[in-house]
Amino acid sequence: MYFQAKVLVYNFVDNSAANWFKVGYDLANVKHTLTLKFLNTNAIDKTFQADWTAEKEQLQRLAEIKQSETSSISQPVISDERKVNENTEKKLEGKTDKIIIVQAPVKSDIKITGEQLAVVESLIISLQGRLASDELKLWQFNTGLSVSEAWVKVGIASERQRVLDSVRQQIQSAPTGVSADYLSVLQQLSAILEKPNLMVEDRRQILQIMPKLFIN
């Protein structure tokens, strides 16, 4: 049986477009949680330009697969899901974004389907190509990928150094458009993840920090 504890997920109450950090984090998170339950395809779709036909088709396929997740025979079982943090931010245009952070153990007798994984990985590569001409958006997207992977794999000895190096590289390569406040939050997160052993208080701090990266 596959078991992955302390999975970090979240819900966007406002269905407006996500920032590119969130898109990257969400797509990488699918591979780690082995389910599409937490993937908000509508919010991701709003970040795509109208002529991104291939990417829209890939996202639509993920939405269809998500809809078909109906039984525990081929899909993970999410148990003991609980809200651990909530963050609300009012925007200048009068909208309100609310992010609810939850933790849930994920266990499954069958790992992620080949098609689901292939579509996610193909979409990630496609989006990196689309964003190649926009340094800031590409950086945000890749940072989301790195942070998602680091959160899950930092406790695995064989993966720890690689995932930490990936987060550090993103911090060091931050383009001019990244605000000092945003970079500071990312540095705080990196400092916690670099600790040899994450204690309860460390995880609590991470849960307080993460919402600041999900909201523009």
Report how far residue 191's alpha carbon sits from residue 198's, in angstroms, rounded to the nearest whole number. Answer: 11
Residue 8 has pLDDT above 90, yes or no: no
- Among candidates 1, 69, 57, 56, which has minimal Cα distance to 30? 69
Which tokens in the block code for residue 80?
Answer: 């003991």
Mean pLDDT across 135-153: 94
Q: What is the pLDDT of residues 129-138, one digit of tens each?
A: 999 999 999 9
- Which pLDDT score, from 0 to 100, does residue 106 have? 47
- Which pLDDT score, from 0 to 100, does residue 1 have? 34
- Among candidates 102, 162, 122, which has minimal Cα distance to 31? 122
Number of C-beta neighbours around residue 60 at 10 A: 13
- Which pLDDT score, from 0 to 100, does residue 98 have? 52
Sign of the dihedral defined by the CA atoms of residues 115, 119, 120, 125, in that order: positive
At 125 the three-state DSSP class reads helix
Report how far residue 197's alpha carbon sits from residue 200's, in angstroms, rounded to the nearest whole number. Answer: 10
- Low-confidence winner among 19-23, 55-59, 92-96, 112-116 (lowest mean pLDDT): 92-96
Q: What is the pTM of this model?
A: 0.78
95 or 27, greater pLDDT: 27
- Mean pLDDT (the chain) is 79
- Which pLDDT score, from 0 to 100, does residue 212 have? 87
Residue 100 has pLDDT above 90, yes or no: no
Report how far residue 95's alpha carbon sits from residue 14's, in angstroms, rounded to the nearest whole number. Answer: 8
- Which pLDDT score, from 0 to 100, does residue 38 have? 81
pLDDT band of residue 151 (cuts 50, 70, 90) is confident
- Which pLDDT score, from 0 to 100, does residue 9 have? 56
- Which pLDDT score, from 0 to 100, does residue 203 have? 85
- Which pLDDT score, from 0 to 100, does residue 183 have? 95
| Domain region containing 102 | 2-214
- Among candidates 5, 16, 44, 9, which has minimal Cα distance to 148? 9
User: What is the count of structural domains for the chain?
Assistant: 1
Q: Buried (b) or exposed (e) across 67-97, using 16+ Cβ within 10 A?
A: eeeeeeeebbebeeeeeebebeeeeeeeeeb
- Distance, CA of 78 to chain centre: 17
The CA–CA distances, whole Å, from 128 to 38, 124, 159 equal 22, 6, 23
